[in-house]
Amino acid sequence: MKIIAVASAKGGVGKSTFCCGVGKMLSVHGKRVLLVDMDIGVRSLDILLGVSEKTVYNWGDIIKGNCEYRKAVTETSKELFLLPAPIDFSTEYTPESFKNMLKTFEKDFDYIFLDAPAGLESGFKLATKVADSCIILSTPDAISIRAASYASENVRKSGVSNVRLVVNRYNKKIHKSINVDEIIDSVGARLLGIVPDSVEIYGSVNGQRIPYDSKGSQAFLRISKRICGENIPFRTKNM
């Protein structure tokens, strides 16, 4: 079981969308995936995955002993599961209690993605303190790149050395003058992938399916293969 935190110091750069997209690709290719919403109070993965009516418990309930651990997990599609965030913060949510809670899922999942909230506070800290590796998301604009570099610095301070970068919402026409190598240098992390700015991905915020053969899905697929250790070449052509 691998625990991967998905983070950035900035909101709205596509962390939750990325978790759903890559999680979906891993799951349709036979991996068992758990997405954990780390945004205490402002959760969103349940809506993105179209299961907000089905979720009852959250990971806070597991830590507090309010429910048996499997009861807090909702299957959203074959092999893709969701563990929602609690509504309120509690001092019981420490890196130790959180890590122990995740360990109970050891035999159930191949990959656990921790979808961190915007900012560098509680949800971010909890996620990055327990993760084996971290994926930092940045869109190609200067504000987002700066936020991604803060996040990368903080993740390394938490003791995570395997930090990778995903450039999201890349549009070849708009970002003509943007050099991806410069983003890599600013963030200080190896590139894991580039996701195009796409109407299909945008539509997924309202629960629409991203067609499997769309550029967006194919970008998520390439990233999911790299996560599994495959050597897949990078391309920005037609993005």
Ligand X SMILES: Nc1ncnc2c1ncn2[C@@H]1O[C@H](COP(=O)(O)OP(=O)(O)OP(=O)(O)O)[C@@H](O)[C@H]1O
User: Cα torsion for 131, 136, 137, 142, to the nearest 10°?
Assistant: 150
- The answer to the question of residue 123 lying near ligand X (CB under 6 A) is no
Cβ neighbours for 216, distance < 8 A, ≥ 6 positions apart = 21, 195, 196, 198, 200, 201, 210
The DSSP secondary-structure symbol of 152 reads H
- The answer to the question of residue 8 lying near Mg ion (CB under 5 A) is no
Binding mask 162-181 for ligand X (x = CB under 6 A): ------xx------------
Q: How far apart are CA 107 and CA 123, in angstroms?
A: 24
Q: Footprint of ligand X on residues 38-67 (CB under 6 A)?
A: 39, 44
Q: How far apart are CA 71 and CA 101, in angstroms?
A: 13
Give φ, ψ of 168 to 5 degrees: -110, 155
Q: Footprint of Mg ion on residues 16-45 (CB under 5 A)?
A: 16
- Residue of 37, 61, 79, 197 that binds ligand X (CB under 6 A): 197
- The answer to the question of residue 36 lying near ligand X (CB under 6 A) is no
Q: How many CB atoms lie within 10 A of CB 228?
A: 15
- Residue of 191, 205, 214, 228 that binds ligand X (CB under 6 A): 205
- Residue of 23, 84, 117, 140 that binds ligand X (CB under 6 A): 117
If the CB atoms of residues 30 and 41 are measured against ligand X, the closer one turns out to be 41
If the CB atoms of residues 12 and 211 are measured against ligand X, the closer one turns out to be 12
Choosing among Mg ion, ligand X, none, which partner's interface includes residue 207 (Cβ < 5 to 8 Å by kind)? Answer: none
The CB-of-118 to ligand X minimum distance in angstroms stands at 4
Q: Where are the beta strands (DSSP E) in 15-93?
A: 33-37, 74-77, 80-83
Give φ, ψ of 29 to 5 degrees: -100, 25
- The answer to the question of residue 195 lying near ligand X (CB under 6 A) is yes
- The answer to the question of residue 207 lying near ligand X (CB under 6 A) is no
In terms of C-beta density within 10 A (0-12 exposed, 13-18 middle, 19 or more buried), how is residue 205 classed?
A: middle
If the CB atoms of residues 67 and 89 are measured against ligand X, the closer one turns out to be 89
The CB-of-195 to ligand X minimum distance in angstroms stands at 5
The CB-of-86 to ligand X minimum distance in angstroms stands at 16
Range in contact with Mg ion (rule: CB under 5 A) among 12-20, 50-58, 127-135, 171-179? 12-20
